[in-house]
Amino acid sequence: MRRLPGRRVVVAGGSSGIGAAVARAFTAEAARVVVLDRDGPALDRLRADVGCRTWAVDLDDVRQTRESTEKAIAWLGGIDVLVNDAGPGRFAPLLEVEPAELASCFSLPAQTMLTTIQAAALAMVGFRAPGDECVGKVVNVASAGRGAGGQAHYAAAKASVMALTRAAAHELGPHGITVNCLCPGYVRDPLTAADRPEAASWSALSPLGRVGEPEDVARAAVFLASSDSDYLTGDALHVAGGMVLH
């Protein structure tokens, strides 16, 4: 039995890696998916491979992001699930980080996440029927990292995702909308070059003896998007193979 039949889903930041895996997993579960991202060629490949709808958009641009999210919701005829996976990894020594770099790290993902949540939540509330217990799901992708060396600005940005998730859960819960966070560990992802030699050292940190795959995170996203998670909100689910035990 498929777990997301007919669910209308918008994925912000899904041209590759975890976002693309989420689009594949949701489509396989019979959801209708629209993916928003700036990478046109990658979106074209995803559309051909998965069969989802895609729109190229600069997620750093608030106006474009809001308009594209609203356009996707209109095309779907409403929205049941929003997945936010915007925000590439950036690394630099703490003493070399420029203050402007910290600000830019917050535009993706925190600024994008706020913009898409606002658009999606307004639509979810508008489509709520009397007696509906859970009318919408928001799934934000943060990180299981705790600010290791070279990750000060990245860790701060991802921590803001978790804080915004909790705040949104408080405000949107009365409207029947759950908001949760996925916290991946080291994931084998072309965008983060996880096939580098240090992937082996990260594998040693997991009791399972391997790094994560995008599909591991996508399966957890399916759970948070399904009715199985209706009583979870404001939570952070670690998908890190036990690495957070260290």
Residues above pLDDT 70, as percent of the chain: 84
Per-residue model confidence (pLDDT) at position 194: 47
- Domains in the chain and their CATH numbers? 8-235 (3.40.50.720)
Higher model confidence: residue 61 or residue 244?
61
| Mutual angle of helices 214-225 and 17-28, in 10-degree steps | 50
Question: What average pLDDT score do residues 109-129 get?
Answer: 89
Distance CA(64)–CA(106), nearest Å, equals 17
- pLDDT category at 55 given cuts 50, 70, 90 is very high
Q: Is residue 114's pLDDT more than 50?
A: yes
Is 154 annotated as catalytic?
yes
pTM, 2 dp: 0.90
Helix (H) or strand (E) run with residue 105 in it? helix 99-106
- pLDDT category at 211 given cuts 50, 70, 90 is confident
Q: Is residue 180's pLDDT more than 90?
A: yes
Q: Which of 26, 55, 154, 202 is catalytic?
A: 154
What's phi and psi for 57, nearest 5 deg? -150, 145
